[in-house]
Amino acid sequence: MRRIRSSKICPIISAKLSSQSLEELPVIIQSNSNDSNHLNSLIQNMSVKIKNELPLIGGISCNLSTEAIYRLAEDPNIEYISFDSKVFALMDIGTATIGGNFPHDKNYLGEGVTVAVIDTGVSPHNDLMKPNERIVGFKDFVNDKTSPYDDNGHGTHVAGIIASNGYSSRGKYAGVAPKANILAIKALDENGSGNTSNIVKAISWAIETKSQYNTKVINLSLGSPANNPCSKDPLCKAVTKAVNSGIVVVVAAGNSGPLASSILSPGINPDVITVGAVDDNRTIEHSDDTIASFSSRGPTIDGITKPDLVSPGVNIMSLSNKKADDYVSLSGTSMATPFVSGSVALMLEKDQNLSPREVKRKLLDSCIDMKESKESQGVGMINLEKLFKDAASGEKEKGELNQDTSQFFNSPIVETFLVLLFVMLLLENN
């Protein structure tokens, strides 16, 4: 068997090569120089058809034979060859559980902030369409359709947790940010799966159009087994580009718990906000809250502590894709993730100048410690009452300080002192 530089290929491809498989493999190839033109010429010389160009990570996706992989691995301009893995969607009271009513009472509802939901699509449910349409854009990387739809239901449910206004339930099933906008990006098929390369393309499109739609947040309630270190992983590289462009990226931890080191990609990326799931036992009180058994645990493949935080993810009622006024209950870190994305929308309505890293820091500083291990809960459960109460307290103190300062300078004693000081200066100059 031929030797190959294993540092250039992912473990899945290594295993295929070791088994001397003759099948063509779906791969993502990344260049050292991020030069997609060079990659194109290399692939075309091999008479291989390119499936997707991925300029965001300086790569392309295609199917390659074993021989072609051997040849490419010898090229010094090739950085990494990874398997174009399948990415899967990760299958009322939750908003109250995280203290969502507190910012709502202060009229923070996510208005004007757009959250991109990269998922199975989003159906035009009443709660997103009435009285005003808030699905502000739609892109289909699966079937190339132009009108919003969801042939699976997962993305619609996620979008509802973020931005449902409860139109069809008289407010009962309103989301965290009931006036936020949704940018629906379909990158997973009717079965809730899709290739890594499609997710990279979807993230790239969200970045390219962020000014057009005012996209501030990307919700990724999906994941793929973390077979590569973050520095080589195509999804990790894509979400880093999104964060560097000013977009907050919120990612599901995965549903592979309680197994240790089971965080999925791109949740292994330290730049994103990785969300695990809590079982709130259908109560607003926190005393009976526990980490959901299915919620993936850290550390990551690189030894980083994840998840970052947790939120409700068991028996969450949200929008159904079957009827425009129907609801359905689902569980998973997929459901926990949009609670955080909606919370970020509220934060960015309040202060649009917050950077992704500032948003993450403020969120982590406002969590409730559940007294679980860091590998299970991160820093704890998100709590918007604590987050917005602390912010409001800071503003009040600042206002009181300004008022006290004004009263000091306007007091009669200070005015007399300033007059005497002015007279003394005049006498000294004379």
The tokens for 354 are 């917050």
Active-site option among 334, 343, 366, 376: 334
Q: How many CB atoms lie within 10 A of CB 338?
A: 33
Q: Which CA distances in Å does 416 have to 41, 203, 208?
A: 82, 64, 61
**Read out DSSP for 152-185?**
SSHHHHHHHHHH---GGGTTTT--SSTT-EEEEE
Query: For residue 290, what is the enclosing H or E element?
Result: strand 290-291
How many angstroms separate the CA atoms of 313 and 295, rounded?
Answer: 9
Q: What is the DSSP letter of 224?
A: B
How many angstroms separate the CA atoms of 419 and 423, rounded?
Answer: 6
The H-assigned helical ranges of 144-276 are: 154-163, 196-208, 210-213, 234-244
How many angstroms separate the CA atoms of 290 and 131, rounded?
Answer: 37
φ, ψ of residue 219 to 5 degrees: the values are -100, 120
Active-site option among 92, 119, 233, 279: 119
Gyration radius of the chain's alpha carbons? 25
State yes or no: is 293 an active-site residue: no
How many angstroms separate the CA atoms of 156 and 117, rounded?
Answer: 9
Q: How many CA atoms lie within 13 A of 115 on its CB side?
A: 40
Reduce the DSSP state of residue 275 to 3 states and report it. Answer: strand
State yes or no: is 119 an active-site residue: yes
Q: What is the DSSP letter of 2?
A: -
Residues 6+ apart with CB under 8 A from 269: 230, 233, 235, 236, 239, 240, 249, 251
| Length reported for the chain | 430
How many angstroms separate the CA atoms of 296 and 292, rounded?
Answer: 9
Active-site option among 104, 125, 154, 157: 154
How many angstroms separate the CA atoms of 58 and 423, rounded?
Answer: 72
State yes or no: is 343 an active-site residue: no
Q: Which residues of 42-67 are buried (b: 16+ CB within 10 A; e: fewer)?
A: bbeeeebebbbbbebbbbbbbebebe
Q: Which residues are catalytic?
A: 119, 154, 334
